[in-house]
Amino acid sequence: MSKKLLLFLIMIAFLSVSFVFALEDNPHNETPVNLEEEDMLYKNSNNSYEARIVDHANLLTQNEKEKLLKEMIPLTDYGNILFFSTDATTEEYYAIHVYQSFYGTSTGSLFMIDAEHNKTSIFSEGKNKQIITNYKVYSIDKSLSSYMSQKNYYGCASHAFSKFNTLLSGGIVLEPLRYASSVFIALTLSFLLSFLFLLFKYKNKTNINQEELYDFHHTQGKVTVNKTGTRHDDGPYPYNHRY
């Protein structure tokens, strides 16, 4: 294998390993969640999945909670659905901890509003996780920024659950910018790979050092070794030399 190819493979391996290490791990935190306090709850009689609203930060009015619960009920066909709000300082990955505190690893989704930091979090588990992927979460999150900036928490949650419903029922969330970007990336990759393929295919293969081209015979006896002398080089700390 040529040195250049070996170096290239090492670099690709290096970047791939780096990428794997860059993926986030699950957190370890012990912040307790008060499981007793629940504002609204609905249990689906067919599959015992729940729709639950836990509004610790008091972001929603009673009316809004009732309306939101009605919108969450259809989502129980697919799994548990939880709305959670908090105004306490939360560490990273708190959303995961909240959901697992209520439902463990059961299929479902959580929508959380952190009023302290004015940010939203979405977490899914089980089958829902395969549908509401990282990019979908990112996309939905971005679409909620206007609601959050206006502190329209009901509108924010309603919009989020509406997106969940579209995705879980098999619908498509249009992401025109993403598709356009994918087109550009695909074209660039295609042009680049085609050009590299062209370079490889068009190379006139010459190797004048190929033994097969010549009439080569070689016999070699045992190698004997004779010492001829000694030399020295500076050590790792040359400034310590005594002169």
Partner 1 sequence: MSKCPHCGGEIQFSVEKQKVHCNYCGADFDASELVQDTKKAKKVEDLSQKETLSGKSYLCSQCGATLLSFDETAVTFCSYCGSQNVLEDKLVVQTAPDFIIPFSKTQEECIANYKEAITNAWFCPNYMKSDLVVNRFRGIYMPYELYNLHFSGDCVNKGEKYADFKDDFIYYDQYDLHSEVDSTCNGISFDLLSKYYDEYSQSIPFDYKEAKPFNSNYLPGFYADCKDLDESVYDEKAIKIAENISRRHLMHNPVYMNYNCQDPKVPYQITERKTGLCPVYFTAIRDKDNKHLHYAIINGQTGKVCADLPVDFKKYLLFSILFAIPLFFFVNSLGIIFPSIINGFALFAAIAGTAIFLKQLIKCNEKEKRDKDIGYYSHKKDEKTSKEKTEKTKQAKGIIFLANFGIISMLILTGVLVISGKAFIKLYGLTGFHYVASFVMVVLLLWFFLFNFFANIKGRVQPDFQIFDNSFLVKIIPSVIIPTIIVILNPISDYYYYISSVISLSLILLSFYDLVKLQNKLASRPIPQLEKRGGDEHE
Residues 4-63 that bind partner 1 (CB under 8 A): 11, 14-15, 18-19, 21-24
> For partner 1, which residue of 30, 45, 234, 243 counts as binding (CB under 8 A)?
234
- Here the tokens at position 134 are 């990282």
Site for partner 1 contains 224 (CB under 8 A): yes
Which range touches partner 1 (CB under 8 A), out of 41-49, 101-109, 128-136, 162-170? 128-136
**Residue reference for tokens 């190379």:** 203
Neighbours of 113 (CB within 10 A): 27
What is the C-alpha to C-alpha distance for residues 51 and 35, in angstroms, rounded to an integer? 14
# chain residues binding partner 1, by CB under 8 A: 73
Closest separation between CB of residue 236 and partner 1, Å?
A: 8
CB 125 within 8 A of CB 103: yes
Binding residues among 95-114 for partner 1 as defined by CB under 8 A: none
**Residue reference for tokens 């293969």:** 205
- Here the tokens at position 5 are 């190819």
Closest separation between CB of residue 53 and partner 1, Å?
A: 29
Which range touches partner 1 (CB under 8 A), out of 33-41, 108-116, 161-169, 175-183? 175-183
Taking the least distance from each CB to partner 1, the nearer of 28 and 227 is 227
CB 84 within 8 A of CB 60: no
Taking the CA atoms of residue 17, residue 20, residue 24 and residue 26 in that order, the dihedral angle to the nearest 10 degrees is: -110
Binding residues among 179-198 for partner 1 as defined by CB under 8 A: 179-196, 198
